[in-house]
Every structure is written in C-alpha cells, then in structure tokens.
Amino acid sequence: MRIACVHIPRFAVEAERLRRKDIGARLVLIGEGTVLDCSLGAEAMKVSRGMRMSEAIGLCPRATVLPPDTPYYERLFNEALDLLETLSPHVQSAEPGTAFVALDGLQSPEARVAEDIIAGLHRRLSLMPSVGLATGKFTARVAATNTRPGTVRAIVKGEESAFLAPLPVDHLPAADAMRWRLGMLGIGSIGEFARLPTGAVQAQFGSEGVRCWDLARGIDKEPLVARLREETVVRRLQMPALAVTLDAILIGIEKLVHATYAVLPGGRWVRKAVIRGSFDGGGSWELAVPFREALSDPRNAWFAIKTAIARHPPERPLEELEVELIGLSGESGKQASMFEGKGKLWRQVEEAVRQLEAQQSDAVLGKVIALDPSSRIPERRAALADFESK
C-alpha cells in the first residue's frame, strides 16, 4: 500500500505562533519540567525534546518559556485531519503533527495529492508540512522527517532499504536500552543493522529487534488504521465579561449545555460531554465528563457536569466556553438493575413452563426449595419439588 506521511515539524511551537504574534521570531520552549517542544533556533543550541527544562533554559536563557496547551494542540490537529480526509477517506493520526494518508484507490496521482496536502494545510491553517511517500508507514515517516517543510520526498517501491541504509539507527522505533546496546556494538546506521544475521538479532534483541530489522530492510506490514469519526454537537459562548468566579463559569456552561441539547437530532442520547474554556492571556482548560448511561435530558447531563467541575475547576478566569456532546446514539443503553423486573421474569418462566407442559404431557419439571441451609448434611439443605404453574 502506498502511504503518505504528513509531518508538521515543531507542531506545538507552530500552533503557539498562530495565536501569539509576539513570539514570531523568538526562541521558544514549551513544557513543564521537561521540554515538550522547542523552536528551530533552540534545537540549534542543542535543546532536545524530553530534556529537563532547567537545562534547556541554561542553553537558551533568552527563550520564551510557555506551558503546554494540549487541548488547543489537539483541536488544531483535528482540523488538519479533517482537511486530510477531504483528500482521502483513510487517515490515521500518529501524534499531534504527524498523520498517515492512504493513497491507493485515489483518482489523482500521489504526487498531486501530496502537493494538495501541502497547499491545503498552508492555505487553510497556515501550517507548512513536509510529506513522505513510500510503501509502508515507517519509510514514509522517515522520508517526511528528513525533508524540508513544503517539499515532498517520494521513495520508489523496492528502494526502501537503500534509502534507509545511511540514516542513523535513532530512526528505528527501538527502546532506549536497545539503542544503547547498538551503540556499544558500534552499529550506528540502519544499513549496518540490516546487514546483521536475523538469528543474531533475535538472540540479542528479541521480538523488538526482529521488527526493527524488518523495517531496516524496508519490510513494513503494519496496516493503516483510519481514525473513527464520532458524531458530535458543539456550541461555543464568548463571555460578555471575563468569568472570574466559579459561579459565573457554571452559569455560562449551564446555558451552553441546554443550548447544545436543544440542537440535538431528534431522539438522540448522549454518552459523553467535553467542557472547554480559554484562559485570559492564553492557554485552555478541558474536562471530559463520561456519563454512566446515555442521557437525553439536559438537566441530568448538567448535574453530572456540574459535579465534575466542582472536583476539577479551572485554575484561572475564562473568556470563552465550549461544550461538545460526544457519543450520540439512538437509545439510552441503560443497564437494567439485577433485581429490576423480577416479577416480570418470573411470569415469563411460568409461561414457558405452561407451553412446555402443553407440548410434552409427560414433562417432569422441578424447582429447588430450601429446607435447612445451615445443615451439615448436604442432602438436608435443599430438596427438589414439582414445579406447578398457575
């Protein structure tokens, strides 16, 4: 299967620059405790993802440090995925900033699809991706991450191993322990690893090593799993004034919950609600509220949402609110109680017995009755009596 990997380098940094014009050309570090993402200039100063933030600030003392805003990054990337699905029905999300697109069966040539992807993301979302084309997700991803933003790197079928051979083994999806052992063995490139005997690889690294060995030789059978689209309903509210108190926030969310339920298609039930808010000065708050059973009444939904907000309130004043209803279904899916409808069940049993006796006149049916449950002799604890239908 021919696959396109769409990669947006430094996605979190680019997302922040879209809404904060004041950091356009500045060094940027994003994270709390460790570095989640950093700008190209910070990378040039030896900052890397996963590095301790204190160490990164020491390397880039003039950098702007921002807390991560994961809900915002996810919303922006979902918009990118929606755009990709207009070009191909099979799109898989890897992580924010990277996605795979199936190319087989499309009417346009793959090079044209790749150009449309770059142009569409840049025009609609002001994001500049790089695109890798290959037979298999791993090679396509390596191709995308090793080309400049705004360009396409296509790997012809059969040339995967030749393309991968000179690249460092860091591209392989291996654990740190395996990478360390490869370094101790003096194996630095994918080509050197691919030339090892398969038996030796399996003996040294197990199933993880065998998978990486196949990928290094261009063998990638991992399927593309298209993302599932849930039917949702979303409503937003721009607060007339900054909501400083929790009471003001609750009033706004309650109005949104009722307004969102009001536009639900007829007869639909809701299984989950997601509440979001934008902080004054940047950043966002998100709270997912799964319902124990699907709800069709906004009053019941609001009670569950209000209880969840009381446990996890926003830390700062909010200027915009959003309510998203997820998991719409045509029925409640309510689970009956163990003891609910016991009389009805008993009547059904009696009716089944009457029908059986009518069909089989010599049928012998019995029921267990308790005699002395505490008896030390098993035969005295219960007895079998004739079942008599009414």
Query: Which residues are within 8 A (CB) of 155 and not within 5 positions of it... i.e. 6 or more apart?
Result: 132, 133, 134, 135, 139, 140, 143, 163
Overall pTM surpassing 0.75 (yes/no):
no
The confidence score (pLDDT) of residue 333 equals 53
User: Which residues are registered as beta bridge partners of 52?
Assistant: 34
Residues 270/291, Cβ–Cβ less than 8 Å: yes
Return the structure tokens found at 360.
């089989």
Statement: residue 60 has pLDDT above 80: yes
> Which residue type, as a one-letter code, is found at position 139?
T
pLDDT tens digits, 68-82 = 998 899 989 999 999
| pLDDT band at residue 182 under the 50/70/90 scheme | very high
Query: What one-character DSSP code corresponds to residue 378?
Result: G
Q: What is the CA radius of gyration of the chain?
A: 30
CA dist., res. 177 & res. 157, Å (int): 32
Q: What is the side-by-side strand order in the sheet with 34-38? A: 34-38, 28-32, 64-66
Query: What one-character DSSP code corresponds to residue 287?
Result: E
Q: 264 or 348, which is more confident?
A: 264
Question: What is the per-residue DSSP string for 71-115?
Answer: HHHHHHHHHHHHHHTTT-S-EEEEETTEEEEE-TT-SS-HHHHHH
CA dist., res. 313 & res. 297, Å (int): 23
| Mean pLDDT of all residues in 106-117 | 94
Statement: residue 361 has pLDDT above 80: no
Of 173-187, 208-222, 227-241, 248-262, least confident by mean pLDDT is: 227-241
Of 8-12, 124-128, 139-143, 261-265, least confident by mean pLDDT is: 261-265
**Angstrom distances, CA of residue 83 to CA of 53, 124, 260, 353:** 34, 9, 25, 61
3-class secondary structure per residue, 192-248: HHHCCCHHHHHHHHHHHHHHHHHHHCCCCCCCCCCCCCCCEEEEEEEEEEEECCHHH
The confidence score (pLDDT) of residue 343 equals 64
CA dist., res. 143 & res. 160, Å (int): 10
Least Cα distance to 59 among 67, 47, 49, 41 occurs for 47
Question: What is the per-residue DSSP string for 360-375?
Answer: -TT---EEEEES-TT-
Phi, psi of 292 (to 5 degrees): -65, -30
Q: What percent of the chain has pLDDT over 90?
A: 68
| pLDDT band at residue 132 under the 50/70/90 scheme | very high
| Mean pLDDT of all residues in 213-223 | 93
Q: What is the side-by-side strand order in the sheet with 98-102? A: 91-95, 98-102, 2-7, 130-135, 152-154
CA dist., res. 178 & res. 164, Å (int): 18
* Residue keyed to tokens 């992807």: 117
| Mean pLDDT of all residues in 10-31 | 91
Statement: residue 376 has pLDDT above 80: no
The confidence score (pLDDT) of residue 300 equals 93
Q: 148 or 378, which is more confident?
A: 148
| Mean pLDDT of all residues in 358-379 | 73
* Residue keyed to tokens 């990337």: 77
Collapsing DSSP to helix, strand or coil, 134 comes out as: strand
* Residue keyed to tokens 């998991």: 327
The confidence score (pLDDT) of residue 262 equals 92
**Angstrom distances, CA of residue 351 to CA of 85, 205, 357, 362, 385:** 55, 64, 10, 17, 18
| Mean pLDDT of all residues in 22-36 | 91
Return the structure tokens found at 292.
């124990």
Q: 112 or 337, which is more confident?
A: 112
Statement: residue 348 has pLDDT above 60: yes
The confidence score (pLDDT) of residue 344 equals 63
Mean pLDDT, all residues of the chain: 89
Query: What one-character DSSP code corresponds to residue 267?
Result: T
Query: Which residues are within 8 A (CB) of 327 and not within 5 positions of it... i.e. 6 or more apart?
Result: 230, 270, 271, 272, 294
| Mean pLDDT of all residues in 94-114 | 93
| Mean pLDDT of all residues in 352-357 | 70
The confidence score (pLDDT) of residue 359 equals 62
The confidence score (pLDDT) of residue 6 equals 97
The confidence score (pLDDT) of residue 288 equals 93
CA dist., res. 97 & res. 129, Å (int): 9
CA dist., res. 326 & res. 269, Å (int): 10
Statement: residue 246 has pLDDT above 70: yes
Statement: residue 194 has pLDDT above 70: yes
